[in-house]
Structure 1
Amino acid sequence: MITLEKLSKAFGSQAVVDDASSQFEKGKVTAIIGPNGAGKSTLLSMASRLLHPDTGNILIEGKAIADWNTGELAKHLAVLRQANSITMRFTVRELVSFGRFPYSKGNLNEQDNAMIDQSLTYLDLTDLQDRYLDQLSGGQRQLAFIAMVIAQDTDYVFLDEPLNNLDIKHALSIMRTIQKLAHDMGKAVVIVIHDINFAACYADRIIAMKGGKIAANAPTDDVIEERVLSEIYDTPFSIVEANGKKMCLYY
């Protein structure tokens, strides 16, 4: 389990995250939602040691994140940030193989290649594995980056807005894969996401942020409520049910 204890972060006089506490559990998908500027990505960056909190503690398996060796942390936690730019020319398979670096240090063995193959299969990229990234659509490139994260084979997977640039088919593929990683493989998957309906359908738990604070932190059905969402987003919501899932209507 990853535990966040009273995290705060300010840039200048602006408090971006204020006294935020939560937990990320294995076997569950946790979605972080909220309006722009709510502090979602900042919270995830602190939880992954990409950004140092001004106050508060982060514990991974009961051990302070600052006390983790970088190489060992990379075997437990994989992170995909919003912006991913690579200047060198790589094939899809070469990119995905970077996920194995914490184990292989660049010398891939049979186990590494098996994990790469599995990751490519998960995201239906096997037929594209020898294509160069600059030959792919934006959505296909995003899938390749997510396959790299999956190949890292960590207990904790953090994805910051991974559905950017994806059409509905690819977005559904990602969300179904995320759910499989959590439910079938026992990983804790944490995703910053703007699409509330994807969160409603695929997340087990939702953390909703507003103005740097955690406004709601509960099982999905308890957050996907008209009153809760209307207060978080300052706009009216209607909730309907389809196939046993709650869906949001905006107006």
Structure 2
Amino acid sequence: MITLTNVRKEYNSDVAIGPVNLEIPAGGITALVGPNGAGKSTLLTMIGRLLGMDSGDIKVAQYDITTTKSKDLAKILSILRQENHFITKLTVRQLVGFGRFPYSHGRLTEEDEQIISRYIDFLHLTDLEERYLDQLSGGQRQRAYVAMVLCQETDYVLLDEPLNNLDIAHSVQMMQHLQSAAKEFGRTIIVVLHDINFAARYADYICAVKAGQIVEFGSPREVMRDEILTDIFNTPVQVIEGPNGLLAVYH
């Protein structure tokens, strides 16, 4: 479980996140959704300790993120931000291998190599593992980044808009991979999503954020309601039953 207690981040007198009180259950996928500027990515990066809080407490699996040593936290929690600045003259396999750094500190063992291969195979990157990052499409590169994070083998995985720059088909594939990772590897995945319909289709829980506050948290069926989505996105939304579950239609 991830627990946020009175978490607050203030940028200026007009822009602030919180105070946020939230419990994210262990297991499955929790999607953070909301309009642009709502504070979704800020919350995620505070949970991942990449951004400091002005006040409050965050615990991941009972570990206080402000006091837990980095080397210990890196074995519990992994995060992938939107901005990735890896050297393009890395191969896919070299990139994924960075996920083993908390354990190997750069000296990969035979066990590390087996784990790297496991996640390369899992993300269907086997035929691309010797290619350089700048030789990949955007979707292939994004899969490689996600493989790197999964290769860290943490119970908790944070992903900031992993569907950015992906077309519909590749977005569906990515969410299917994440859903499989949550089930097959027992991971708790927290993901910032721009599209509420992807959250409804693939997430176990939806956390709706608006103006720096948590306004709704629950299962997709609890959150996917006309009045709730209309309020969150400030535009008329109708929720209908589609062939694969609930679907939000904007008017």
Q: Normalised by the shorter chain, which TM-score bucket?
A: over 0.9
Tell me, what secondary structure is at the counterpart of 2:15?
A: strand
Contact 2:230 2:236 in 1 (8 A): yes
1:123-154 CA-to-partner distances (Å, cap 9, x unmatched) read 11110000000111122111111110011110
Give the Cα–Cα distance (whole angstroms) in 1 for the partners of residues 239 and 202 of structure 2: 16
TM-score, normalised via structure 1 length: 0.96
| Structure 1 contact 38–209 (Cα < 8 Å) conserved | yes
Residue matched to 1:236: 236
* Aligned-residue offset at 1:156: 0.2
What is residue 76 of structure 1 aligned with on the other side? 76
Q: In 2, distance between residues paired with 1:137 and 1:62?
A: 39
Does the Cα contact within 8 Å between 2:75 and 2:153 map onto a contact in 1? yes
Question: In percent, how many aligned pairs have the same letter?
Answer: 47
What CA distance in whole angstroms lies between the structure 1 residues aligned with 2:23 and 2:176? 22
Q: In the alignment, which residue of structure 1 is the partner of 2:203?
A: 203
Aligned position for 1:146: 146
Shift of 1:87: 3.3
* Partner of residue 56, structure 1: 56
Residue 93 of structure 1 corresponds to which residue in structure 2? Answer: 93
In 1, Cα distance between the equivalents of 2:20 and 2:227? 22
Which residue in the other structure is 2:17 paired with? 17
Question: Residue 188 of structure 2 aligns with which residue?
Answer: 188
| Cα separation, partners in 2 of 1:26 and 1:126, compared to 1, 3 Å | same
| Cα RMSD (Å) | 1.2
- Distance, in Å, in 1 between the alignment partners of 2:244 and 2:132 is 41
C-alpha distance in 1 between matches for 2:161 and 2:16:
18
> Are the aligned partners of 1:8 and 1:54 in contact in 2 as well (CA < 8 Å)?
yes
Deviations 1:59-91 (A, max 9, x none): 122231112110111111010001112235100
Q: CA deviation at 1:192?
A: 0.4
**Is residue 27 of structure 1 aligned with residue 14 of structure 2?**
no
For 2:16 and 2:82, the matched residues in 1 are separated by 18
Kindly state the Cα deviation for residue 240 of structure 1 after the two structures are TM-superposed: 1.4
1:246 and 2:246 matched: yes
Partner of 2:226: 226
Cα offset, 1:17, TM superposition = 0.9
Query: Is residue 27–residue 185 contact of structure 1 (8 Å, CA) maintained in 2?
Result: no
Aligned counterparts of 1:113 and 1:193: Cα–Cα separation in 2: 31
Q: How far apart in 2 are the matches of 1:137 and 1:72?
A: 34
1:4-52 deviation digits (Å, cap 9, x = unpaired): 1111111122333111121222222100000001000111111111111
Question: Following TM superposition, by how much is the alpha carbon of 1:244 offset from its aligned partner in structure 2, in angstroms?
Answer: 5.3
Q: Structure 2: how far apart are the matches of 1:169 and 1:70?
A: 37
Distance in 2, Cα, partners of 1:149 & 1:24: 20
Aligned residue in 2 for 1:4: 4
Shift, 1:184, TM fit? 2.6
Partners of 1:26 and 1:182 within 8 A in 2: no
CA distance in 2, matches of 1:61, 1:190: 14
Equivalenced residue count is 251
Output the CA distance in 2 between the equivalents of 1:183 and 1:88: 32
Using the size of structure 2 for normalisation, the TM-score is 0.96
For 1:176, the equivalent position in structure 2 comes to: 176
